[in-house]
Structure 1
């Protein structure tokens, strides 16, 4: 047997041993992925075609769950509308305010590192704590109403009990909660701007808003695109803020689609209907994400 053959066999044996070791290391993660992601996803696909109560007999109904959602479910369309309203308000406000904040903190102002930490704190603070603080502030006996009466003699409306104000308060609280994440992304992108392009633009006379609009924003557009995609996906899946702040009320004026899914599955024990609604939400997210990826060619500028 030649020396080359021995070496090849030795390398093959070592490669197989390394593969077995690697599989051993990743097997816990693969088991967790299968148990907590793949199996539930497959099960939810199956459940969507059944009348699946929590207890009792499961009955195959085909597409009846989907038909019921679109034709006879009284809360589905309002939940879909609330999700759309929340997304249309939350995403632009979050992205635009985060970009403005990042641009402001990009300038050489004193204490900008501390300010970035301050604005990022709500992101890492537990959601429940944030919502409870906002709920106390917005109550008729809360700080906002007390301050308004003391300083201006004006009594504020009951924001969380008024259908015209409840969704606005949910959006406001959510923007405050998530603003720092996108601000940090934009701040990192601004720190990486090529100095040569900035200097060339300044030599050509660009400054102020013209510099920001024509040079800075196109250069950070990949980060804006990423933030828009992730913020939109998060907004379409909003649950904790309305659940904890308003309970979906008053009435169902702030109940989003995920809360509707939660109620159908765990409150009314209609797991099949909840699974069907979840897959409708998944389809909406996929379609909107695909549309954004298709439109990025018109406004996202990548360096080559």
Structure 2
């Protein structure tokens, strides 16, 4: 199975994009680098977790560090596109290894407030202090000489953002590959209407913009893929071709009603709303997750 691919830069001001596929969670981690300065950003890193044993590990994140060392890169940013529901974020671990600042979208505070209530966690800080930077729509920053900007892309979650870095856009869980469709919008705070609007904003980027997705589910047992273009999505995505906004919302509602919740959602959100920090050890030195029962209504049973 293909678990790594490098998408080379296409001229000045465009990045090299290394994608690392995690078969356990179907997630893709990215190292986005400036060929001119060798500075890079890490996007959506995975902290390994086995729900059967409760074990955590850093295998996936350490692969990123090994690649960064091999290529002689320096880490300028550690970026999450949103608080993930299907894997733990390795942002906090990687900050400890690299010293690079962490960032996420400013509306993460809304997600924190929502999940603080679900977990009945009154002492949880819900002001975004767990990250160094909270990005707003239109904010800009640099990775070496690369220009990067932020699009606010809600719908999948209240806090989802897209990073546009040169000719590459990291679209998290809005669009999947053109043969698969689009992301679900039924998580707490999700909205099919908002997701449609976010997708339209992404598809207004230039046709040849490289789009990098957050997951791939390998329809028809094909190899994992995570790169497409705006033009390919417009031409081939089955959830979008020939669809109006009303068509899309109806399709999304029907499809979401048939999907079970991600198996790690209740585990992951209490870690990811804390910037990838695991719960503090208790008196016996062990860490514990808190799983609320009957908290998420309406999900299909597997």
| TM-based fold match above 0.5 | no
Greater strand fraction, Structure 1 or Structure 2: 2
**Higher RCO (C-alpha 8 Å, min separation 6):** 1
Q: What is the TM-score normalised by the length of structure 2? A: 0.21
Greater helix fraction, Structure 1 or Structure 2: 1
Whichever of the two has the greater Rg, that structure is 1
Q: What is the TM-score normalised by the length of structure 1? A: 0.21
